[in-house]
Structure 1
């Protein structure tokens, strides 16, 4: 029997008594695994071998997982530090415990989010306790990391493995392992003798010019042979949604704003009539710049009007805050915590010159907040900023705008809740119902800008405004329950590849 050389090599290396994997046959024949696979499929089609398939999962530590295996899980390190400080007897300062643990950056948020979940203690009002009965040596996730490094994964329970995967500490992949065994016909063929046939795998110019193409045997093309999978690049679903938002707002008559990600506190907060001693303006909630520390120039007349509004108020009955106001603080640079800094630049005329009503502007840009990571919060996210400048605006106008906007995405059950903002009155938050959990989730904040904010900016008519969360809109559209699966360093790439875009 004449067979292609690769098939001869495989049938001679295969056994009728014991199934051999493709990798084993590749090693025995010196052929590439994909060549062996193709040959095995051809031999199976001729009834000379049988092929068995088994799907196996492999698990490997990510770089972060390896670091935690070497240095300890952040929550375990925090527990051990708190225990050392006496937190088993009475609460200690959370800052003191974090400092003693040696944790910094994102590891602090990770430790805090897992500390109570694992029963190591309680974190409340800036203090931390340590449960003396907790046993870090019995931490299932720490034990699983060690087992994965030594490939002892059979003992790891599915829930622990899922948690490690969710935390981005492991890479999981599935592969199909094929094993080949000689059939009775294959054994008979070997006994009768097989030899390699002269075959070629492609038609070349030389074969055509010499005429040899008519004499040679061409290798059959096997469409079932294994081939590596490549995930093609495509636009991220969050960017797709952002572009849809822009299209909707442009269709509603809005123009797009743009401006700096790093800006002075003056534009970010002072122009919003936000007092300088407001808790949201402390170093705990903002990302201040170290170099450079402050903006070079601010419009002096506007600074004077904004300071006067803070100190004295605006109008006959205005009273101001009677709290400290310092221009040096106003000049301090920080990553913007909201894109309303763009609104103050535009409304003041600083960005594009003086604006005459009516006007509609929006932006869909990134903002930065020192929040604790959880399923609905990130340290950086996208905000849908918008405002309308016109005469005699009311809350009905604002609510109607939201209903029209969200209806474009199939969301018709928006709920409103009265709220307090230093810069709007009246104010209200927006909520939507999560399509999977049925829970109400906050999707934005809005209101009518106060006179104390608008008068210093030189605006003499009403302005209604809002800041909506793009990621929360994404959750309502697609039913995602954890935004970290979609956006950030822990995102689920397979989820992003498989999610069907909805219009």
Structure 2
């Protein structure tokens, strides 16, 4: 029987009595594991070997698990300190034991949460009463850490491994192990003699030129054999959508703005007629930076903005009658919206005075101290835009949105009146989620108030908006949790499998 060299090597290394893994055969033959796998499948198809598959689970210690392997589990350390302090005879103050055990930071809470669970004692009223009959040397979880470190996780009970995994001390992984065994036909073939055939696995230009291809024997390809998965890099779907948004707005006659992520509160909020005691400007909602304040702000513009806050604008203006501090205005924070860019451009500070009509946009990241949920992140992308012109109205603003979202196949847009300190009239935008059918907020918009425009020297109308790029993504692709596509919990398989819409 004539077989390719790789198949002959695998056949001769295989055993009829002892199943061998692909890795063992690779070591015995000197071939790569993927080459052995392909040869084994070819031999299986010829009935010469049997290939069985098993699911193998392995475990390894996390960094925290390795720390506890060296220093001991926090609850064990607390128990030993309690015994040394005589807590098995009468309760001892917990603070004394924590100091004696050397526990610190989150280890204290970890020790307390596991102390009673393992029967080491009772904690009541800040005092520890230790169980004299407990045996920390027989702690199953401590023994399991040692077993995992010695690659003996198979000897550990599943429930103990589950507990260690839930505590973040162990990571488990699964892989498919293939076992190869000679069949009776394979044994017979070896006894009768197997000859290695000189085969080639690819056609080269030299073979074509010399005509050698007519005389060589080509290796048969097994299209069912497993091959290594190659994950090529590609542009993130969020970035692809951002680029498409930019192309769409440029096509609608807009120019792009750019500016700093960390900026003075003056540009982020004061120019927007946001009172300095507004809840959104506290440390609860913004990310303030401990850096020197910004100095490069036109003094006359600062005076005009302060006047708008204190006294209002126009005959009927009344201002806020609330505290206003220039030091606070100059303090640096991460921008909570890209309207800071709009203020820089409308004021003429970014690139000189602008004459109407003008259209500008940005698709940039903003930062807010929000609670994480399926539609909120601490940082996200905002589609900022504004149009400067004479006699603009809400009808123009709504028409702009309908035209913009139509470019993305979204036609069910609804509007709801809203209050903003910086626009009047104002309204929110809602789109219907394609999977859940629910209306989700996708943006905020309105006509800038005189208290915003007059200090900036603008004498015409300006309509403006801030839209969420991630919400647009949800409407386009049906994502229900934005954390699946953005942030530390994103689903890489979902990103790889999602087909980009055009």
Corresponding residue number in structure 1 for 2:31: 31
Aligned equivalents of 2:185, 2:236: Cα separation in 1: 52
Corresponding residue number in structure 2 for 1:227: 227
Aligned equivalents of 1:294, 1:288: Cα separation in 2: 11
Aligned equivalents of 1:160, 1:297: Cα separation in 2: 57
Mapping for residues 81-480 of structure 1, pairs under 5 Å: 102=105, 155=158, 175-196=175-196, 223-291=223-291, 293-480=292-479
Aligned equivalents of 2:5, 2:464: Cα separation in 1: 74
Deviation at 1:9, TM superposition (A): 3.1
Aligned equivalents of 1:223, 1:287: Cα separation in 2: 55
Deviation at 1:22, TM superposition (A): 1.7
Corresponding residue number in structure 2 for 1:84: none
Deviation at 1:27, TM superposition (A): 4.0
Rate the CA distance shift 1:273–1:249 in 2: closer, same or farther, 3 A.
same
Aligned equivalents of 1:378, 1:492: Cα separation in 2: 15
Corresponding residue number in structure 2 for 1:9: 9
Q: Residues 309 and 320 of structure 2 are in contact (CA less than 8 Å); yes or no, is this contact kept in structure 1?
A: yes
Aligned equivalents of 1:432, 1:57: Cα separation in 2: 47
Rate the CA distance shift 1:479–1:217 in 2: closer, same or farther, 3 A.
closer
The more displaced of 25-34 and 321-330 is 25-34
Q: Residues 65 and 170 of structure 2 are in contact (CA less than 8 Å); yes or no, is this contact kept in structure 1?
A: no
Rate the CA distance shift 1:221–1:336 in 2: closer, same or farther, 3 A.
same
Rate the CA distance shift 1:207–1:441 in 2: closer, same or farther, 3 A.
closer
Query: Which secondary structure state, in structure 1, belongs to the residue aligned with residue 11 of structure 2?
Result: helix
Rate the CA distance shift 1:14–1:455 in 2: closer, same or farther, 3 A.
same
Corresponding residue number in structure 1 for 2:120: none
Deviation at 1:196, TM superposition (A): 4.6
Corresponding residue number in structure 2 for 1:137: none
Aligned length: 430
Aligned equivalents of 2:500, 2:204: Cα separation in 1: 44
User: Does 1:485 pair with 2:490?
Assistant: no
For structure 2, which runs of at least 5 residues remain unmatched after alignment? 69-73, 75-102, 107-140
Aligned equivalents of 1:169, 1:478: Cα separation in 2: 37
Deviation at 1:36, TM superposition (A): 1.6
- The alignment's C-alpha RMSD in Å is 3.9
Deviation at 1:287, TM superposition (A): 1.5
The more displaced of 145-154 and 294-303 is 145-154
Aligned equivalents of 2:443, 2:27: Cα separation in 1: 60
Deviation at 1:501, TM superposition (A): 0.7
Query: Which digits, 9 at most, give the CA deviation of each residue in 1:166-193, with x for residues without a partner?
Result: xx99988775543323233212112223
TM-score of the aligned structures, taking structure 1 as reference length: 0.75
TM-score of the aligned structures, taking structure 2 as reference length: 0.75
Deviation at 1:471, TM superposition (A): 0.5
Deviation at 1:268, TM superposition (A): 0.6
Q: Residues 447 and 464 of structure 1 are in contact (CA less than 8 Å); yes or no, is this contact kept in structure 2?
A: yes
Mapping for residues 47-86 of structure 1, pairs under 5 Å: 47-53=47-53, 56=55, 67=64
Query: Which secondary structure state, in structure 1, belongs to the residue aligned with residue 181 of structure 2?
Result: strand
Deviation at 1:57, TM superposition (A): 7.7
Rate the CA distance shift 1:33–1:204 in 2: closer, same or farther, 3 A.
same
Rate the CA distance shift 1:172–1:248 in 2: closer, same or farther, 3 A.
farther
Q: Residues 199 and 217 of structure 1 are in contact (CA less than 8 Å); yes or no, is this contact kept in structure 2?
A: yes
Q: Residues 6 and 36 of structure 2 are in contact (CA less than 8 Å); yes or no, is this contact kept in structure 1?
A: yes
Query: Which digits, 9 at most, give the CA deviation of each residue in 1:191-222, with x for residues without a partner?
Result: 22335556676899999999999998665555
Aligned equivalents of 1:49, 1:421: Cα separation in 2: 74
Aligned equivalents of 1:462, 1:381: Cα separation in 2: 29
Deviation at 1:310, TM superposition (A): 0.4
Deviation at 1:415, TM superposition (A): 1.6
Aligned equivalents of 1:216, 1:464: Cα separation in 2: 74
